[in-house]
Amino acid sequence: MKLTPDQIAQFDREGYLFFPGLFSAAETKTLTDAVPALYARREAYNVREKGKEAVRTNFAAHMVSEPFARLARHPRMVGPVEDLFGEKLYMHQFKINGKAAFDGDVWQWHQDYGTWFNDDQMPTERAMNVAIFLDDVTEFNGPLMFIPGSHKKGVIEAKHDLTTTSYPLWTVDNALIAQLVERAGGKNGGIVSPKGPAGSMILFHSCLVHASGSNLSPFHRVAVYLSLCAVSNHIRRFKRPEYIAHRDFTPIECLPDDCLLKDYPVEVPWKNGVPASAYETSLDPIVLAAAISS
């Protein structure tokens, strides 16, 4: 899938692109059918909502599950990001966010690059988020909210919120959020919220300020979030476990476009458990030769 000049200009201006219904019902079902078994595992990579059993986010499904390993190599996802960056990509992070009916908690206002810079020492914002809806997303079940054009501010000062939810996040001050929203149009478009059917996809800039409210509805809002990083922009520190911030900087090689409908062979190295090495962390700068797969 190639981006048009108009789409590239829109992304530069607004910081995101929305593709409603990009994946078919059959392709999406392949993924949704694999989620319950992943969420049922009592593993560190399943972060649960504060004081609840509902999964807030599942990390590294592409290392455990064949359907998600194929999604990680899907050309409809990888191709547009390669177009925008002009180079090959590696998978920095892979999440399936639960946002469960009645139990899905907020994600505070933040930039993803803020975390990647502060925790992982990613040199620049040459990394991109791809969100794929596994459920219909409506105004009722905690949709994403973006501040259009906020990526133009670059890296914004953030504080490390360790208490609001079960997952620590580098969050943006409310006063600055109000300024950014006003600058983007206030009540007339200062906040946008892409909604659509399961199978829809969003590309959004790693500096785009975004959030989502709690899900008080009886409808789940499960979505996959893949963070693709330019290989030259790989992280420089392993402060976080490998199941959160990946350490294999090998360029992604795409599978055929029908890879969610056919059983193309893929590696799932953590299918039988996460290796002990994936839990090791360090504040020391990495040695490049040891981090890149041959």
Structure token pair of residue 73: 């190599």
Burial of 14 (0-12, 13-18, 19+ CB in 10 A): buried
pLDDT tens, position by position, 18-53:
999 999 999 999 999 999 999 998 888 888 888 888
188, amino acid identity: N
Q: How many residues does the chain have?
A: 294
Q: Which of 131, 257, 272 is nearest to 196 (CA)?
A: 131
Assigned CATH for 5-291: 2.60.120.620
Q: Rounded to whole angstroms, how far apart are CA atoms 172 and 156? A: 7
Burial of 221 (0-12, 13-18, 19+ CB in 10 A): buried
Structure token pair of residue 169: 């996040």
pLDDT at 270: 94
60 torsion bin: left (phi>0), alpha (psi -120 to 50), beta (else):
left
pLDDT tens, position by position, 189-239:
999 999 999 999 999 999 999 999 999 999 999 999 999 999 999 999 999
Query: What percent of the chain is modeled with pLDDT above 70?
Result: 97
Mean pLDDT, the chain, integer: 92
Query: Is the pLDDT reported for residue 244 higher than 50?
Result: yes
In the chain the first and final C-alpha atoms are separated, in Å, by 28
Q: Rounded to whole angstroms, how far apart are CA atoms 172 and 192? A: 17
Enumerate the domain spans of the chain. Answer: 5-291
pTM value > 0.85? yes
pLDDT at 71: 98
Give the distance, in angstroms, between the CA of residue 222 and the centroid of all CA atoms in the same chain.
12
Q: Which of 199, 202, 200, 293 is nearest to 252 (CA)?
A: 293
Query: From edge to edge, which strands make up the β-sheet containing 127-133?
Result: 16-19, 201-205, 127-133, 223-230, 89-97, 55-59, 46-48
Give the DSSP letter of residue 105: P
72 torsion bin: left (phi>0), alpha (psi -120 to 50), beta (else):
alpha
pLDDT tens, position by position, 119-149:
999 999 999 999 999 999 999 999 999 999 9
pLDDT at 287: 59
pLDDT at 288: 54
